[in-house]
């Protein structure tokens, strides 16, 4: 399949009912994202005079993973969107589960990024400059190392909290999408919600630091929504297992009990590879 053709979106701001457009619109495949590890198709979606660009990931195109049940990545992406919406932060683009040209799959609104927005950097020295948070040291060739840092940005901090809740096992730099309107989205949430601790991310800059008051309020809201019979629990039930919902409840409870951002457990590689 050819590289994706350009589909000019109407705006980087989601249309008023983006989820409805994605769920009910006619999908037309335009190309394939070749860098994706699973089948990811660039599409246009049209419904009732509205149109947008989107990504469609059919379940049939998912590669088996040793630590996640087969054919569940699309559902996990939708579950991550549901939790993001419950936070009120809107960190994940509108995402739905629907039938498409190659069967059931995840359909997510395409986001145009601002290339000049700098969220990650490699710097010399052992301490980050003001406005940056240290991730760790990385080999840069010829026996040299550099300090990998991320921006001390409240949008990234919110995303770090979301990742801790959904147990994101693959938060890479390429999964961070800043827009020209100042928003930040996270994408590629197929390896989330495992019942075992698998948090693997670049956003360790706040590890061990106190959660913000905003984050605590959001986590309290999630705890209520995830309670038995709660609205968020009901939305997650068709998407992930009961054990995974219980584990999500436990992670929210642990964050509230500690009052701090999580630290690497040492039981699982803390940083994804490749990091970007």
Question: Quick one: pLDDT band at residue 15, thresholds 50, 70, 90?
Answer: low
Question: Quick one: pLDDT band at residue 14, thresholds 50, 70, 90?
Answer: low
Over residues 17-74, the pLDDT tens digits come to 899 999 999 999 999 988 888 999 999 999 988 899 999 999 999 999 999 999 999 9
Question: Quick one: pLDDT band at residue 11, thresholds 50, 70, 90?
Answer: very low
* The pLDDT value given to residue 3: 39
Query: If we measure between CA atoms, which residue out of 82, 85, 95, 69 comes closest to residue 196?
Result: 69
Average pLDDT score over the chain: 90
From residue 234, give the alpha-carbon distance in Å to each of 12, 141, 226, 228, 231: 30, 49, 8, 8, 5
* The pLDDT value given to residue 58: 97
Q: Over range 113-139, report the average pLDDT.
A: 87
Which has the minimum average pLDDT: 61-70, 134-143, 262-271?
134-143
Over residues 100-124, the pLDDT tens digits come to 999 999 999 999 998 777 899 989 8
Is residue 15 a contact partner of residue 50, using CB atoms and an 8 Å limit? yes
Distance (Å, whole) CA 40 – CA 54: 10
Torsion of the alpha carbons at 236, 238, 242 and 248, rounded to the nearest 10: -20
Between 266 and 215, residue with greater pLDDT:
215
Is residue 55 a contact partner of residue 30, using CB atoms and an 8 Å limit? no
* The pLDDT value given to residue 6: 39
| pLDDT of 273 strictly over 80 | no
Q: Which residues contact 140 (CB under 8 A, 6 or more apart)?
A: 122, 146
DSSP label at residue 122: E
């Amino acid at each position: 399949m050819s590289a994706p053709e350009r589909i000019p979106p109407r705006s980087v701001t989601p249309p008023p009912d983006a989820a409805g457009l994605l769920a009910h619109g006619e999908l037309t495949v335009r190309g394939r994202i070749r860098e994706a590890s699973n089948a990811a198709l660039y599409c246009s979606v049209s419904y009732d005079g509205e149109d947008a660009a989107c990504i469609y990931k059919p379940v049939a195109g998912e590669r088996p993973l040793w630590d996640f049940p087969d054919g569940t990545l699309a559902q996990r992406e939708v579950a991550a969107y549901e939790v993001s919406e419950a936070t009120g932060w809107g960190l994940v683009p509108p995402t739905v589960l629907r039938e498409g040209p190659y069967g059931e799959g995840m359909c997510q609104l395409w986001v145009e990024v601002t290339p000049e927005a700098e969220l990650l950097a490699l710097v010399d020295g052992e301490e980050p400059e003001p406005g940056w948070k240290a991730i760790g040291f990385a080999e840069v060739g010829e026996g040299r190392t550099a300090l990998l840092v991320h921006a001390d940005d409240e949008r990234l901090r919110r995303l770090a909290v979301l990742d801790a809740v959904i147990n994101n096992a693959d938060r890479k730099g390429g999964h961070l999408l800043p827009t020209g309107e100042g928003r930040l989205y996270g994408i590629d949430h197929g390896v989330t919600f495992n019942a075992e601790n698998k948090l693997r991310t670049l956003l360790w800059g706040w590890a061990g630091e106190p959660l913000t008051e905003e984050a605590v309020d959001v986590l309290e809201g999630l705890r209520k929504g995830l309670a038995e019979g709660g609205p968020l629990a009901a939305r997650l039930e068709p998407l992930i297992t009961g054990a995974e919902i219980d584990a999500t409840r436990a992670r929210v409870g642990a964050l509230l009990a500690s009052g701090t951002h999580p630290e690497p457990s040492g039981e699982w590689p803390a940083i994804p590879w490749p990091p970007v």
